[in-house]
Amino acid sequence: MAIKVGNIVSHTGGMEWGAGKVLEISASSTMIQFSDGKNRKIAVSHYSSLQPAAPASFSPPPEAIVETKAPRAPRAAKKKK
């Protein structure tokens, strides 16, 4: 199987991860975002564990809600002696 950025794949050893989308490819590994919300690096030696998956089987994880913290009150200036 030829692996390209954007391909939808599944990992035979991690079926509970769901389908994944190939994000980037390097000489030694591939970064895949799986439907369980985790990005995983798969080594070239494990490419045989990757199988093509139907594009509809990949559901991107929901975007994390970023909570903003209330700004801190300014510190009181120290008195100089």
For the chain, list the domains and their CATH numbers: 8-57 (2.30.30)
Phi, psi of 42 (to 5 degrees): -110, 125
Residue 43 has pLDDT above 80, yes or no: yes
Neighbouring C-alpha atoms within 13 Å toward the C-beta of 2: 1
Instruction: Indicate the residue type of 16.
Output: E
User: How large is the average pLDDT for residues 36-63?
Assistant: 91
User: Over pLDDT 70: what percentage of the chain?
Assistant: 95
pLDDT for 61: 76
Residue 30's pLDDT is what?
A: 96
